[in-house]
Amino acid sequence: MGGNVFQAERKRSVRTKTTNMQFRESQAIYLQIADYVCERILLKEWKPEERIPSVRELAVQLEVNPNTVMRTYEFLQQQEIIYNQRGIGYFVAAGAMKNALQYRRNEFLEKDLPQVFRNMYLLGMDPDELKPRFEKYKKQHFAS
């Protein structure tokens, strides 16, 4: 019985270290994790030349299969956003900010913006209506 209490405590402590990430069915999980990594870089939480979580660490944090994280890291290496130092780990590339920004912009313009435009058209909205809301959002969420 004592072992079960320990296991329950261990599970609880592991759960507190996880990141609450809601995955969408409309996009591959490895690409959603790539967005997560790029966001950490763009928010300057992960800085150039800084070591990032290992495949296993990130898999535990996000509660996904390590193979999925490995696929993400391979993809991000191709995008020159991260790099691997064999035997040491993965690091944010020197040009990661620029490359992550370009990757995320392209994703937004090709995948998200058409749906925004569709909704705006259906709702009879003009782009000028969005500017004050965007400014308010920036002040609320990103004011220094």
**Its pTM surpasses 0.85:** no
Domains of the chain: 2-113 (1.10.10.10)
pLDDT digits (tens, 9 = 90+) for 68-119: 999 999 999 999 999 999 999 999 999 999 999 999 999 999 999 999 999 9
Q: What is the pLDDT of residue 92?
A: 98
Q: What is the pLDDT of residue 18?
A: 53
What is the DSSP track for 57-124? Answer: HHHHHHT--HHHHHHHHHHHHHTTSEEEETTTEEEE-TTHHHHHHHHHHHHIIIIIHHHHHHHHHHTT
How does residue 1 score in pLDDT terms, banded at 50, 70 and 90?
A: very low
